[in-house]
Structure 1
């Protein structure tokens, strides 16, 4: 009986300790998460008033402003930091899962296999070309890979997915997200001005935007300037690019595991020679769980079982999660540091943007042929 009482008392103490730790963590995260959610509300309101401005772009800009304006800057580095970092990492993954609800595989199949293959070709060539440019401009670490993923597939969401597979530090995703936001925002203002000089009709313009602009919100904001036909074409083409997220992240996961296997064998050999015991590197997932969730959501949407209300609710959940994540990432962008270290990366990103726009333009003409 005594032992049973001691065990019960021990379990009770451990339970209380777990609850106390959870509450302490929640108190630490709450200020930053509350500010991030408030920023999302402001972003959605501004987008409702000015549809040309994508809510996700506004969220990033608000985050950048918050960390660079006296007063809120110290809060971003102090009591808000833990919650903002949590949003930038974990809510990004939640948003990627809900992004799957935007995908209807039937719409993609209806494009025809030629168009689907052309879009896939644009993604692969954009990825390879942007990665090569990143190496040519001697960008550090995983920056070339993250920028290539974001520019060729679906902006910040793709950057977050690739960063998870590579184990990239949170702070190292900040510059790629800032660059993909910059170039996507430029597209909103510049591409509509090129529609008539390039001789594009509404359908072709929509296809060009869908194949060449990075984030879904930026695609919508750019294409809607040419009307409903352009918007519809742009969204379907864009979502065809989004589905490429899973295979590209999967390939990166396989390559990363091979690298870790080599590192582990090398470490085991060193341990055998020195007699020391050094922990082997952890194996990353081939495909992260949230990417599997993204695919499951896309499959669920494709069944036609979901009501319009459920799809709209999923879209709102995605906006809230991604908006909070992008505000968190934006709040890590100090303009002084960006100007000091990001000029070379900015030039590289603009070159990549021009490359992707050119590849997309060529694909549009092949679709019409």
Structure 2
């Protein structure tokens, strides 16, 4: 039992679990309100966790379990989130959206990373923001951060950047809709290929009606599907980079394989192809977001505000420029291919 819950002070650990759960539940409730839906449940839970820091005594007690939550709960949440990815819908819609998603993700992770490095953004933070903006927002940041062994401040800053830019560009693309000359389905694909969070894509696609919403979801889920392979590739890359940096080329090459990403894909397959599980999928997805909300609150409880304020401008600027690029790229793909 002690290995499952390795806490020196069980009472303080329970305070941390209860507080992060409360932040997640309140975040879910707020996200259902008009206006807050664009910000999203996960980001709201993160902000609530940061607010708790104003009470230093409670924060000190809660931190007994926040490391455990941010690590173990993250893996469980990502695995359960796999049930949201319906492979049947993706396959029935054809491979065009998936092919477009592979192209967008590959191009944009590369561009995001090198633009961030041009702005002298830290290597890990550059990768986190690149994946968050290119794949699926906060969930991508959290999934990739484990493979990269990112610090809490880096993960929080990357999530904040994704949330801010995703909300801004959701409003931008909705404003541009009448001027694009796209059908509702085409506009939905553009939203799904360019916007950061699933909530952003759904919100923008919804402005084009049910057809736009469906197209946005399919295009966005095609990008979500790439989270697992990208996490594996970046894990290998980072292991090689650290080995080369240390100069110890004779040591055994250890790859930090994110096994929970395999669970993500297995959950997707189970939810997609086993009819008996289908009725439970909405509940499992709700649990996934509840757990991930706890993870975000745990990160918020550990964020260093000084680091965020000092390091935030350059990665935000580089990611904003790349958000313009991904929207332009999505426009070009839809115009020429869809």
TM-score computed with the length of structure 2 as normaliser: 0.89
Tell me which residue corresponds to 1:325. Answer: 295
Matched residue, 1:248 = 230
Partner of 1:138, secondary structure, is coil
Contact 1:206-1:233 at 8 Å conserved across structures: yes
Give a deviation string over 1:63-96, Cα, whole Å, max 9, x none.
Answer: 33333xxx43x24642222333333333222221
Greater gyration radius = 1
More divergent stretch after superposition (27-36 vs 80-89): 80-89
Name the CA shift for 1:208/1:25 in 2 (closer, same or farther; >3 Å).
farther
Quick one: which of 92, 110, 127 aligns to 2:74?
A: 92
Partner of 2:328: 358
Partner Cα distance (2:262, 2:177) in 1: 38
Report the CA distance between 1:37 and its aligned residue. Answer: 0.8
Q: Distance in 2 between matches of 1:21 and 1:322?
A: 18
* Residue aligned with 2:264, SS: helix
Work out whether residues 165 and 284 of structure 1, in 8 Å CA contact, stay in contact via their aligned partners in 2: no
Q: Which residue of 2 aligns with 1:6?
A: none
Matched, 1:283 2:269: no
- Specify which of 256, 272, 275 is matched with residue 305 of structure 1: 275
Q: Give the equivalent residue in structure 1 for 2:127.
A: 145
Displacement of 1:298 after TM fit? Answer: 1.1
SS where residue 78 of structure 1 aligns? helix
Counterpart Cα distance in 1 of 2:118 and 2:148: 21
Which 5+ residue runs of structure 1 have no aligned equivalent? 1-14, 269-279
Indicate conservation of the 8 Å contact 2:271/2:277, yes or no: no
Q: Quote the offset at 1:311 in angstroms.
A: 0.4
TM-score (norm 1): 0.82
- Please give the alpha-carbon distance, in whole angstroms, between the structure 1 residues aligned to 2:24 and 2:179: 37
Of 156, 166, 188, 2:138 maps to 156
**For 2:320 and 2:293, how far apart are their aligned partners in 1?**
24
Superposed displacement of residue 347, structure 1: 0.8
Q: Deviations over 1:170-226 (max 9, x none)?
A: 333221121112112223333212211223332222111111111223322332233
